Amino acid sequence: MQTYRLGISDIDTSRIGYGCMNIWGSWDDTSLNDDDRARALKSLQVAQDRGINFFDHADIYCQGKSEEVFAELWKRSPNLRARIFIQTKCGIRFAPPLHRFDFSFDHIITSVEQSLQRLRSDYIDVLLLLRPDPLVDPEEVARAFDTLHNAGKVRWFGVSNHTAAQMEFLQKCLDQPIVVNQVEFNLIHTHILDEGILFNQDNPRLTRNEAVIEYCRLHNITLQAWAPLATGRLSGKPHNNDDIHIKKTAELVAQMAVEKGVQPEAILIAWSSRHPANIQPLPGTTKAERIHAACEAEHINLTREEWYGLSLAGRSEALP
């Protein structure tokens, strides 16, 4: 698989990463068992076999069990850790006592220490702050980042779901560069594109123009796409309440897949990858056939007309 540099880091990541949110499969309190371990490790092995070397986690995924089961890889291949890159995230706290966001020094440090224990690793390659915290103190975040970086526990830092202004606000206090912003992006969730297209238009879909894509390109921050497969809604797993335009978009994706001799997942990944911002898709499917299908995207080069055709279908409205 093709690789490229992650932001201004020294990480040469696979063009497609792998989202590990659901590799454990359950968000309840059940304990790890052999069957679940085997299923998770099979998905991870398929991803590696396809050339994926970048794996995305968060401390909350399956209540930490996704990180825990991921560490089973070291039993199979003790030398693997040096050949792959691990990204994890912190900042969301669930009950008790209540669901909230937390970018405090203590929570960032504690979260990383716990992730390192679950992952059975001495370091994390990239740490992201997950969801903006309205009570963020950038000086406190900077102190946490300095502590982790100086201790060799985190190599690089980034954010998730942050606006351009929020990134700039944090960066003013950080000694480390923000190298990643991970956002939801797929054919039916195109908000980061729409804010540029709909600027200065009378359109209720636009609340403000943040220019996230442009900011990231100007500052060499890699955009990552979570849910690039739209949770399967465009590739065989429709929701009962999907609008007609989503169904028609799925039909167009299926038609294009047949024409190009690939599966629909490849078309969806190729669409997000076609953008010149070099957006890194992070498909999180645990189905081996869907992992293979997504990776076929690197052999597809969509024309401008094909990209816009898919975009217009997903938008469900004409361009200005």
pLDDT by residue, tens only, the chain of 320 residues = 999 999 999 999 999 999 999 998 888 888 878 888 898 999 999 999 999 999 999 999 999 999 999 999 999 898 999 999 999 999 999 978 899 999 999 999 999 999 999 999 999 999 999 999 999 999 999 999 999 999 999 999 999 999 999 999 999 999 999 999 999 999 999 988 887 776 656 665 655 557 899 999 999 999 999 999 999 999 988 888 888 999 999 999 999 999 999 999 999 999 999 999 999 999 999 999 999 999 999 999 999 999 999 999 998 888 88
Find the domain containing 86 and state its range: 3-231+263-302
What pLDDT, on the 0 to 100 scale, is given for residue 208? 59
Of the residues 61, 123, 215, 308, only one is catalytic, namely 61
End-to-end CA distance of the chain: 37
Is residue 109 assigned to a domain? yes
CB atoms within 10 A of CB 36: 18
**Residues, the chain, total?**
320
Up-side HSE of residue 111: CA atoms within 13 Å toward CB? 28
- Give me the CATH number covering residue 137: 3.20.20.100
What residue has token string 């100007």?
218
Q: What is the pLDDT of residues 216-248, one digit of tens each?
A: 999 999 999 999 999 999 998 888 888 899 999
Is residue 98 assigned to a domain? yes
Q: What is the pLDDT of residues 126-145, one digit of tens each?
A: 999 999 999 999 999 999 99
Is residue 17 assigned to a domain? yes
What pLDDT, on the 0 to 100 scale, is given for residue 209? 55
Is residue 157 assigned to a domain? yes
**Is residue 308 flagged as an active site residue?**
no
Is residue 247 assigned to a domain? no
Is residue 11 assigned to a domain? yes
- Quote the number of domains for the chain: 1
Is residue 309 assigned to a domain? no
Distance (Å, whole) CA 313 – CA 309: 6
Is residue 194 assigned to a domain? yes
